[in-house]
């Protein structure tokens, strides 16, 4: 399960506390503060702290004292201008801290984004739970033929059942061996009173990458948006994309004007190379352009045509 009864009790205690403050708060984000948003079969993402809001971005851009007499539409217009022209510094003035529970192989992808502060659950000091990720049947994609790091057609029937059985059996066996090496049962009691368990820092190496880990991940808004532009993209691996999609909804609650600008210019927009822009200009002029005379590689041509909604 995503959280334990003890964690649920702690979350309820945190949410019961109300502290008066002069700092900017966001009602829509306060509504879900500390609450875990379920992701995958045992994972979650939850907000545990944040600083700033849409006004903080505007304030930093104008280096002003406060809202004054400005209109919301003026602030939204400035945020769109900043996003459109890639002025990143004002977005760095907002920060957010997440508590994330995720499979280890997803964490190893995630940690490649080296622009956040991270503190991960340590299996040197604590014992990992018997929780591991098993894909849903509709996510059992075969290796893609064209994309070496992507998935192709979904496995079906006996082949899919065999893969699921192997994943579960391997994880169960590895965890059983993990407990045996620690000389502990699942409830924490000693397995064999006459034997000393292996050190936790060594026993953990036997566990596969689909076991769950947890961390706190604190990041500024600019770098969070960069993370989301890559990991919420349809080309991202499904298991990290669902975390990014949950975080996108959190951004929408937290900084709605920034979210709208991000959706418009990043998630919903397209970046053109010099050669790609030249092709678009030729097409607008009514010229028939083919890939061979475009100055673009076959892959670049295909991507450009996809962004324009045309057949390659």
The residues carrying an active-site annotation are 231
Tell me, rounded to whole angstroms, the distance of Cα 27 from its chain centroid: 23
- The pair of structure tokens assigned to 26 is 């966001």
- The pair of structure tokens assigned to 200 is 């936790």
d(CA 203, CA 186): 15
Tell me, rounded to whole angstroms, the distance of Cα 103 from its chain centroid: 12
- Dihedral over alpha carbons 291, 295, 296, 297 (to 10 degrees): 90
Closest CA to 265 of 110, 57, 76: 76
Residue pointed to by tokens 């979904």? 154
**Looking at the DSSP assignment, which residues form a beta bridge with residue 101?**
44, 214
Closest CA to 155 of 138, 168, 180, 172: 138
């Amino acid at each position: 399960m995503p959280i334990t009864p003890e964690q649920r009790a702690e979350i309820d205690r945190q949410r019961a506390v109300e502290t008066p403050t002069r700092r900017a708060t966001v009602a829509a984000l306060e509504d879900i503060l500390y609450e875990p948003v379920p992701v995958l079969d045992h994972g979650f993402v939850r907000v545990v702290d944040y600083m700033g809001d849409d006004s903080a971005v505007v304030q930093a851009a104008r280096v002003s004292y406060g809202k004054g007499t400005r209109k919301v539409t003026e602030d939204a217009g400035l945020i769109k201008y900043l996003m459109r022209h890639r002025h990143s510094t004002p977005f760095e003035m907002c920060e957010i801290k997440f508590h994330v529970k995720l499979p280890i192989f997803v964490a190893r992808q995630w940690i490649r984004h080296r622009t956040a502060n991270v503190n991960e659950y340590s299996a040197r000091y604590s014992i990992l739970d018997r929780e591991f990720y098993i894909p849903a049947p509709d996510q059992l994609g075969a290796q893609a033929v064209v994309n070496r790091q992507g998935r192709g057609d979904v496995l079906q029937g006996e082949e899919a059942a065999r893969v699921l059985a192997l994943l579960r059996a391997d994880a169960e066996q590895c965890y059983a061996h993990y407990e045996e090496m620690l000389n502990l049962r699942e409830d924490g009691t000693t397995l064999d009173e006459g034997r000393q368990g292996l050190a936790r820092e060594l026993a953990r190496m036997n566990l596969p990458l689909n076991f769950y880990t947890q961390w706190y991940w604190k990041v500024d808004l600019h770098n969070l948006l960069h993370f989301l532009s890559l990991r919420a993209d349809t080309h991202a691996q499904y298991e990290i994309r669902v975390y990014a999609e949950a975080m996108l909804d959190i951004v929408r609650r937290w900084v709605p004007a920034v979210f709208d600008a991000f959706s418009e210019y990043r998630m919903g927009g397209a970046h053109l190379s010099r050669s790609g822009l030249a092709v678009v200009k030729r097409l607008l002029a009514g010229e028939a352009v083919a890939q061979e005379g475009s100055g673009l590689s076959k892959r670049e041509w295909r991507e450009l045509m996809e962004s324009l909604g045309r057949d390659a």
